[in-house]
Amino acid sequence: MRTASVERKTKETSIRVAVNLDGTGQYRVATGIGFLDHMLEQLSRHSLLDIDVEAKGDLHIDFHHTTEDVAICIGEAVAKALGDRKGIVRYGSANIPMDETLTEVAIDLSNRPYLIWKVSLSKPKLGDMDTELFKEWFQAFSQAAGATLHVWNHYGENNHHIVESCFKGLARALRQAVEIDPRKADAVPSTKGVLGGSL
């Protein structure tokens, strides 16, 4: 099993995360932010990664620090569990329809973090959560996980559907990318022999 745990403690947050890349989509999530918990549960269920998150943050100020730091910890745990990334498929993509919404997500576990975020949200909040924080979550995750990540909402009207389709798209793309390729399980998927650094 490819597993990893990460702890992060600052003056703003205290977070513990554990992931199992070869799991069955079991989750235990408690961030203190209801909508974020819902999204992380979707991420686990649809990626088949087991994800355990316990976070306490300065929610009396706002949700920014907790949202960003949770993403950092999940990304770091995924990167740690991947190790040298030997044998992984590396790439994954998904098109997620959700009622009137369609979102496309593509990922490359290249160890070269980069985010393209083509998502527009028409409301400032979902529940109590600022919608601008979703880009911050994906940015922090891609940086910490060492992932090139493209998220493109083609169309949609309902902001809940748009955001949820982004997380489900990441989940399905990540599920593909972390899989071990049975034809090349002993090799890093790069002509350089290592992932990361320059192209």
pLDDT tens digits, one per residue of 71-83: 999 999 999 999 9
Question: What global pTM score does this model have?
Answer: 0.94
Segment 115-171, tens digit of pLDDT: 999 999 999 999 899 999 999 999 999 999 999 999 999 999 999 999 999 999 999
* CA–CA gap between residue 40 and residue 36 (Å, rounded): 6
Helices (H) and strands (E) in the chain, counts: 4, 10
Nearest to 51 by CA among 81, 18, 4: 18
Residue 67 has pLDDT above 80, yes or no: yes
Residue 197 has pLDDT above 50, yes or no: yes
Position 199 scores a pLDDT of 45
Residue 44: both structure tokens together: 């686990």
Residue 190 has pLDDT above 60, yes or no: no
Please state, rounded to an integer, the average pLDDT across all residues of the chain. Answer: 94
Domains of the chain: 3-178 (3.30.230.40)
Mean pLDDT value across residues 72-96: 96
| Confidence label for 184 from pLDDT (cuts 50, 70 and 90) | confident
* CA 94 vs CA 18, 23, 30, 138: distances in Å: 25, 20, 27, 16
Is the separation of the CB atoms in 63 and 36 below 8 Å? yes
